[in-house]
Amino acid sequence: MPRTARDVVFVDGARTPFGKSGKGLYAETRADDLVVRVIRELIRRNPGLPPERIDEVAIAATTQIGDQGLTIGRSAALLAGLPRSVPGFAIDRMCAGALTAVTTTAAGISFGAYDVVIAGGVEHMGRHPMGEGVDPNPRFLSEKLVDPEALVMGNTAENLHDRFPSLTKERADAYAVRSQEKTAKAYADGKIQQDLVETLVRSAELGFGLASADEPPRPDTSMATLAGLKTPFRAHGRVTPGNAAGLNDGATGAIMAAEDTAAELGLDARMRLVDFSFAGVEPEVMGVGPVPATERLLARQGMGIDDIGLIEINEAFAVQVLAFLEHFGIADDDSRVNPWGGAIAVGHPLASSGVRLMMQLARQFAERPDVRYGLTTMCVGMGMGGTVLWENVNYKGDK
């Protein structure tokens, strides 16, 4: 029988506060328990959604091992108390894992295979450092399929500085300072807290506690403090812990639904998914990935960057954001870009970050009925980029 594509909407999102890896908030908390907390919160916040109506749970993790393994989408669904009839799966596209969990299940919704899904991601980099258990095929290097530096993300950021001399360390540091300042203001204005779910944490030494805010932000960051930081990836380099996202732990989740199903169940439709695109680039400069992914998407839609009123781009490294902005002729301090700061301040628990971008964009859409379209975009390890185009359901026309 013929099928008609259905409109897909972002209903709601929630995330744990992000912690610092190592001895941070979640040092003694399991990764799957972070996902469970998010799933339960999404159900609590949306009482009109019967759990048995959830058709799929897709959870991403970059390092699918230990408490991030065991087909975490399915295992977290069971642990969260969803009906056993609700299936789940795990997904991996490194940093764009949660973003891909959303686009993959959204495609299923549009096709008619699903009505409602939960999609998200988790990364506990304290328990599972990036690359744990990985055994790269020796052909990558012996046959020179990729540059050796492609396997170290910080080196790929240094390569971007090399390739684009106009992207100086001073510009990267200035961008990082603004990210910290914007995040501090967003916290002061109560913007970010709306998406956080308080999460129980345990310490053998200190007992039980409650994580209620992101741990990584450094609101006192200044150009002077950044200037003195070491450059761990290259002697006299330009990438520092201050102009890059840290190593973090955290989980995110979103409810995605067919627009007609959301209306049937009385669920809010916060924004509408228009299109998405992924693209590959040279792995040794993976940070430039959002550029071709966005170009491909805009070309397909017959749009230009000036049609985009808000941009949430993941700040894996400041230089990677600057490469995107410079390519599209966007000023470093353009107000459309990450209005509430980004990963340099709040953290980047790899596979979880894509849904954080979506949550913030949805909140901003609600405040900006004059903005019709927004992007969520990010670079991806091994040389990729991913971009999603969203439409504001609150759009009232230009003012």
Residue 287 lies in a domain: yes
DSSP state of 2: -
Assess whether pLDDT exceeds 90 at residue 151: no
Pairwise CA distance, residues 203 & 205, whole Å? 5
Q: What is the pLDDT of residue 52?
A: 98
Mean pLDDT in residue range 182-207: 95
* Angle (deg, nearest 10), helices 318-327 and 290-301: 30
Q: What is the pLDDT of residue 245?
A: 97
Residue 115 confidence class, pLDDT cut points 50, 70, 90: very high
Residue 294 lies in a domain: yes
Assess whether pLDDT exceeds 80 at residue 399: no
Examine the residue annotation and report whether 348 is marked as an active-site residue of this protein.
yes
Residue 135 lies in a domain: no
Mean pLDDT in residue range 204-232: 95
Pairwise CA distance, residues 230 & 241, whole Å? 8
**What pTM did the predictor assign?**
0.96
CATH number for the domain that contains residue 342:
3.40.47.10
Examine the residue annotation and report whether 95 is marked as an active-site residue of this protein.
yes
Query: Where do we find the tokens 């190593």?
Result: 247
Residue 26 confidence class, pLDDT cut points 50, 70, 90: very high
Residue 363 lies in a domain: yes
Residue 358 lies in a domain: yes
Domain span holding position 313: 147-192+274-392
Contact 233, 162 (CB under 8 A): no
Pick the range with the lowest mean pLDDT from 30-44, 138-152, 223-237: 138-152
Residue 398 confidence class, pLDDT cut points 50, 70, 90: low
Residue 163 lies in a domain: yes
Query: Where do we find the tokens 């380099």?
Result: 237
Copy the structure tokens of residue 358. 């979506």
The residue from 95, 124, 128, 161 that is catalytic is 95
Pairwise CA distance, residues 321 & 94, whole Å? 18
Residue 350 lies in a domain: yes
Examine the residue annotation and report whether 379 is marked as an active-site residue of this protein.
yes
The residue from 124, 128, 161, 379 that is catalytic is 379
Number of domains in the chain: 1
In three-state secondary structure terms, 180 is: helix
Residue 110 lies in a domain: no
